[in-house]
Structures are given as C-alpha cells and as structure tokens.
Amino acid sequence: MTDDSRQRDRRERMVASLLRNGAVRDPRVVAALGKVPRHRFVAPNLIRDAYGRHALPIGEGQTISQPSVVARMTELLEVRDTDVVLEIGTGSGYQTAILAELARRVYSLERFPSLARRAIARMRELNVLNVKIQDFDGSGGWPEMAPFDRVLVTAGAPALPAPLATQLAPGGRMVIPEGSREEQSLAVYELDAGGNLRRTDAGPAAFVPLVGDYGWESG
C-alpha cells in the first residue's frame, strides 16, 4: 500500500467513524471531509496521527481541531455553494480547505504570519483557488471584503466582537465560541432581513483564545 493510499484509507475510516458517532450528517460536509487530505495540514512527525480523534499542535501555541469539532462547526455554519465566507483563525488551513469545498469564496485571517504563510503554501499545493488568506488581527473582521454570508470563528472570544456583527449580510449566519479563555459555548448567530440578530447556544466547546483588539489580550 502506498503512502497516499494508506492516508486515504485512514481518511475514509475517520469519516466512517464520524458518521457512526453522529458527529456529521450533512452529505456535502461528509464529502468535503472525505476529500480534503488532513495529513497535509500537520507536521511530518504527526502524519500518523492526522486522522485521530484529537487536536494536534501546529506551532505558535495553536492547534488543528479534532475532526469531530471541524465537522460540528462546519455543519452549524450551513454553508451554501453561493456563499462568501469569512474565517477568523486560519491555523493550519484545514478548516479553510473544508470551507472552500462548500463555498463560492473564502476569506481567512490569521494573526501569526508563520501560520498564514504555511497555510497559503498548502492551498497552492492542493490547488485550492477560491481562498484568500491574510495575516492580521481577525477579531475586527475584514471590513474591506464585507459583507459575508457566513462567518466562522475558530478561537474562543469573551463575547461577540462588535465589528463581526456589522459585517454579516442579511440572512447571514455566524458560528463563534464564546466564554472564558478555557471553556466556551458554541454560539450560532443569525441575522434576519430586518437587521435582528438572533443567538442560539449549540453546546460546550474549548478553543484557543481569540486574541486581538476585540478579543482577549495576549499573554
């Protein structure tokens, strides 16, 4: 068995496990998880663990979330193929690539330049063409590219950053972990045509802190 086929087999087993455990149901999300090569988004010494059930370090004190969390966040976002998506916290770029399979266009922000550079390189290697990544404080969003149909925040915020709410398009949807530095709840925000923002709690979560002007202070 070649290395590529071995990783494909591991990826298929990961998706089967997520389906069996009820972690994913949406056929489009299932297809994206089955297509994106997660092992390409981790360090060489961690490739054997790429399709395991746990988060993995990616440098700069950040992690690539466990597959069940990526599946859950993606399903909650309900991405359509016409959507323009903003992602806060590119990290390794794995979640970015999943979103790119589902959306028309993805804009992603990462505060660590080293992580952003590696994620950009991976997108090029994998020929992911509908993604734009920049390295700056994402807690304030990306007003020049707004409005966004969907916003996904992959770091824990103390509360909803005010600029993100203003960058959501009418009918838009946002998923963001809110709470303390250590523990959060997944909040789903929906903006109706009248400009009313409705919040739904989608259960507990634990992410690295969202650091920035509209998040936590560094340190």
Residue 180 designated active-site = no
Q: Say yes or no to pLDDT of 201 above 50.
A: yes
Q: In 155-175, which positions are buried (b, 16+ CB within 10 angstroms) versus exposed (e)?
A: bbbeebbeebeebbeeebbbb
Q: What is the CATH number of domain 54-205?
A: 3.40.50.150
- As given in the structure block, the two tokens for residue 58 are 């990616």
The residue ranking higher by pLDDT, 190 or 2, is 190
pLDDT tens-digit map of 147-196: 999 999 999 999 999 999 999 999 999 999 999 999 999 999 999 988 89
> Which pLDDT score is estimated for 3?
59
The dihedral built from the CA positions of residue 34, 36, 40 and 42, taken in this order, carries a sign that is: negative
pLDDT tens-digit map of 97-134: 999 999 999 999 999 999 999 999 999 999 999 999 99
- As given in the structure block, the two tokens for residue 111 are 């505060």
Inter-residue contact 65 to 41 (CB < 8 Å)? no
Domain edges within the chain: 54-205
pLDDT tens-digit map of 5-45: 889 999 999 999 999 999 999 999 999 999 999 999 999 99
Torsion of CA 117, 38, 131, 86, to 10 degrees: -100
> Which pLDDT score is estimated for 84?
98
Q: What is the DSSP string of the chain?
A: --HHHHHHHHHHHHHHHHHHTTS---HHHHHHHHHS-GGGGS-GGGGGGTTSSS-EEEETTEEEPPHHHHHHHHHHHT--TT-EEEEE--TTSHHHHHHHHHSSEEEEE-S-HHHHHHHHHHHHHTT--SEEEE-S-GGG--GGG--EEEEEE-SBBSS--HHHHHTEEEEEEEEEEEE-SS-EEEEEEEE-TTS-EEEEEEEEE---B-BSTTSBPP-
Mean pLDDT of the chain: 95
* Mean pLDDT, residues 83-110 taken together: 98
- As given in the structure block, the two tokens for residue 123 are 């997108």
> Which pLDDT score is estimated for 219?
65
> Which pLDDT score is estimated for 76?
97
> Which pLDDT score is estimated for 1?
36
Q: What angle do CA 79, 102, 63 make, to 5 degrees?
A: 90
Which position among 17, 65, 92, 185 bears the catalytic label?
A: 65
Torsion of CA 157, 163, 168, 170, to 10 degrees: 130
> Which pLDDT score is estimated for 218?
84
